[in-house]
Amino acid sequence: MPALTLERLLAGLGFGSRKDARGLVRMGLVELNGDVLEDPFMEFAERPETITVNGEEIPTVEKLYVMLHKPTDVECSHNARDHKSVYELLPDRFTAMGIQSVGRLDADSEGLLLLSNQGDFIHRVESPKKGLLKRYRVTLARPFTEAQKAELLKGVMLKDERRPVLAHEISEERIVVDGAEVDSVVISIGEGLYHQVRRMFAAVGNHVVTLSREAIGPVELDTTLGKGGWRFLTEEEVAKLS
């Protein structure tokens, strides 16, 4: 295995090619433990936990596991057409490192979004075979009835799907939105089909007004994250999803 050099470390962290990395070093923009590093070819006996680039302390992790509180009017696409891209909320170097969203939330939805550059992790979390339930909170245009609840728990047919999809769990809660109390429905599903939650409520004669994803499996949205905020998943959270 090639020695870990400074230029190789910086390139692996998304700071461009090795040539780009050498340029950063030669401009005096790279520091370690308060010391400016001048040799892009210096070798590390051990990988440092952090390195400072252009005044920002950067964790040296190359495997990205990220939690983001997605706002509305943001698209889960690198080539967003009608809104800002969710990747604009993250450091540019993450895109260079190959980060992708784990499933998607449409532009009108908000809440928990996971992102990673590890394909096996993305596949496991997205796969229905993993059995990770996704929990959403919605507000509806019309009162939610017991008959609608029963239909969703039994399973409904959606256009272009081969078999019924069902809600695994449903509960109702009264919440405060913009200072007013409103009824909300919390629904857990096992798949991640296109606009699935919205289509399920439409299939029983209702209409989703707002939708927020609160959890994927055992990992819940960090309520300390403001909309648009992100953090790395903890090792424990990654393990729970793997």
- pLDDT for 106-137, tens place per residue? 999 999 999 999 999 999 999 888 889 999 99
- Over range 65-71, report the average pLDDT: 98
Per-residue pLDDT at 49: 95
In Å, how far are 18, 20, 57, 152 from 31, measured between CA atoms? Answer: 17, 16, 9, 56
Per-residue pLDDT at 141: 94
In Å, how far are 58, 115, 176, 181 from 63, measured between CA atoms? Answer: 13, 11, 38, 42
184 pLDDT tier (thresholds 50, 70, 90): very high
Strand ranges (DSSP E) for 122-217? 134-140, 169-177, 180-189, 208-216
Reply yes or no on whether the pLDDT at 221 is more than 80.
yes
In Å, how far are 15, 38, 41, 52, 131 from 35, measured between CA atoms? Answer: 19, 9, 16, 10, 48
Pairing of strands 208-216, 110-116: parallel
Q: What is the pTM of this model?
A: 0.91
> Which is the catalytic residue, given 73, 92, 106, 183?
106
* DSSP states of 31-99: EETTEEP--TT-B-SS--SEEEETTEEEE---S-EEEEEEPSSEESSTT-SSSEEGGGGS-HHHHHTT-
Reply yes or no on whether the pLDDT at 154 is more than 90.
yes
56 pLDDT tier (thresholds 50, 70, 90): very high
Instruction: Print burial letters for 199-216: b (CB count within 10 Å at least 16), e (below 16).
Output: bbbebeebebeebbbebb
Q: What is the pLDDT of residues 84-108, one digit of tens each?
A: 999 999 999 999 999 999 999 999 9
Count of alpha carbons within 13 angstroms of residue 165, beta-carbon side: 25
- Residue 39 bears catalytic tag: no
Reply yes or no on whether the pLDDT at 81 is more than 90.
no
Q: Contact, 118 vs 65, CB < 8 A? A: yes
More reliable by pLDDT, 75 or 180: 75
- Distance separating alpha carbons of residues 94 and 98, to the nearest angstrom: 7
Name the residue with tokens 């989703």.
208
Q: Contact, 148 vs 202, CB < 8 A? A: no
